[in-house]
Amino acid sequence: MSCILVTGGAGFIGSAVCRLISSDDNHSVVVVDKLTYAGSTSSLEPVAGNANFTFIRDDIGNRPAMSNILQEHQPDVIMNLAAESHVDRSIDGPSEFINTNIVGTFSLLEASRDYFEQLPDDRKERFRFHHISTDEVFGQLPLEGGKFTEETAYAPSSPYSASKAASDHLVMAWHHTYGLPIVLSNCSNNYGPYHFPEKLIPLVILNAVHEKELPVYGTGANVRDWLYVDDHARALVEIALRGRTGQSYNVGGDAERTNLQVVEGICSILDRLKPRKGNKSYRDLITFVADRPGHDLRYAIDASKITGELGWRPLETFESGLEKTIDWYLENKSWWQPIRENNYRGQRLGSLEKV
């Protein structure tokens, strides 16, 4: 049995990783999560009672605590998903992004290095530090042509992506300098169940259900490359267990859509699954609002390295994944209602305009 320590396991992607790993009796899972506004233990309810699952509330930046946790649980793999993840919040207040994404990752690397160095040789062979990152570190692509590969130069635009780029560089430096066995992955936009409703897809689903405006930044022409979260979780486990140390892997769903296409797609599915009164379409709620400052135009991932080396490919198309996601939100009000009432009510974030 191998022990996998997942930081940020109460978040959107981390909880999907935990639900996947904990279903396998060959692994045990230890989550370390600070439970910020974005973390929710209810996302871990499906696995919380499993014998192979442990939850610890702590901060990756708390080095003594992290060292104790590593000594006590003796993980074979650390998957670092703990982060501040929302671009708009990084525009309003970058300091938590610097604290967690950069300083927190540095601190976790140091605790991991101490832990790694005292492992016996056979366990050193198996040990991996997997840092989970984003395609946003590469900056933006033009509307026509080109995809991000593992060789694309870093050119982050937002405080969020700059903080993630810094953490990627630290992780690579800890490998080159100290020999820490790391793997790194850079993924495109995820969507799916348990997604915090500040992000475009869940925000639009819940605003539509509440008959509120569906805010589209600028003209809606910006392009994102969408991946269903369970497909990402499978990719992450493959990379953590079988990726080559010192390597980075790009992960993406080959599903580029403009933001307007995404929002209109959600409206079409909702028109069918939950028709509005008076035969109106949810499209009538679409509202074009002020653009995000520094809004990257287009992201697109070339995932041929992970497909070729590890045989991973997505199982969902954007259409099948979007329908599953909308179904899930319609059926899981008990998950999102407390969040909409207490943590985030759907207000605009990251606009520098004074209102």
Q: Are 246 and 177 in contact (CB under 8 A)?
A: no
Q: Which of left, alpha, beta for 284 (phi over 0: left; psi -120 to 50: alpha)? A: alpha
Catalytic: 117?
no
Catalytic: 135?
yes
Which among 84, 136, 230, 256 is annotated as catalytic?
136
CA torsion sign for 314, 318, 324, 330 is positive
Out of 189, 248, 250, 325, point to the residue binding ligand DAU (CB under 6 A). 189
Q: Does 130 bind ligand DAU (CB under 6 A)?
A: no
Q: Does 35 bind ligand NAD (CB under 6 A)?
A: yes
What number of H helices and E strands is found in the chain? Answer: 14, 12
- Residue 253's binding partner among ligand NAD, ligand DAU, none (Cβ under 5 to 8 angstroms by kind) is none
Which among 76, 84, 115, 160 is annotated as catalytic?
160
Short-list 304, 190, 179, 306, CA closest to 242 = 306
Nearer to ligand NAD, 39 or 181 (CB): 39
Sketch the per residue contact string, 247 through 286, with ligand DAU: x for CB under 6 A, - otherwise. Answer: ------------x---------------------------
Least gap, CB of 189 to ligand DAU (angstroms): 4
Question: What is the DSSP track for 118-160?
Answer: TS-HHHHHH-EEEEEEEGGGG--B-SSS--B-TTSPP---SHH
Nearer to ligand NAD, 159 or 282 (CB): 159
Nearer to ligand NAD, 22 or 100 (CB): 100
Q: Residue 134 is encoded by which pair of tokens?
A: 């984003």
Q: Does 188 bind ligand DAU (CB under 6 A)?
A: yes
Q: Does 70 bind ligand NAD (CB under 6 A)?
A: no
Nearer to ligand NAD, 10 or 223 (CB): 10
Nearer to ligand DAU, 215 or 314 (CB): 215
Strands (E), the chain: 2-7, 27-33, 53-57, 77-80, 128-134, 182-187, 189-191, 214-217, 223-228, 248-251, 256-258, 286-289
Out of 5, 6, 14, 182, point to the residue binding ligand NAD (CB under 6 A). 14
Q: Does 215 bind ligand DAU (CB under 6 A)?
A: yes
Q: Does 60 bind ligand NAD (CB under 6 A)?
A: yes
Q: Does 104 bind ligand NAD (CB under 6 A)?
A: yes
Nearer to ligand DAU, 112 or 158 (CB): 158
Q: Does 81 bind ligand NAD (CB under 6 A)?
A: yes
Least gap, CB of 338 to ligand DAU (angstroms): 20
- Listing from the earlier edge strand, what are the strands of the sheet with 189-191? 189-191, 223-228, 256-258
Short-list 83, 318, 280, CA closest to 190 = 318
User: Chain centroid to CA 244: how far?
Assistant: 22
Q: Does 134 bind ligand NAD (CB under 6 A)?
A: yes
Short-list 7, 15, 106, CA closest to 59 = 7
Q: Which residues contact 72 (CB under 8 A, 6 or more apart)?
A: none
203: enclosing H helix or E strand: helix 200-209
| Residue 54 CA: distances (Å) to CA of 14, 16, 115, 274 | 14, 15, 20, 38
Catalytic: 160?
yes
Q: Does 200 bind ligand DAU (CB under 6 A)?
A: yes
Residues engaged in binding ligand NAD (CB under 6 A):
7-8, 10-14, 32-36, 38-39, 59-61, 81-83, 85, 100, 104, 132-134, 164, 187, 189-190, 196
Which positions touch ligand DAU (CB under 6 A)? 85-87, 134-136, 188-189, 199-200, 203, 215-217, 222, 224, 259, 292, 299
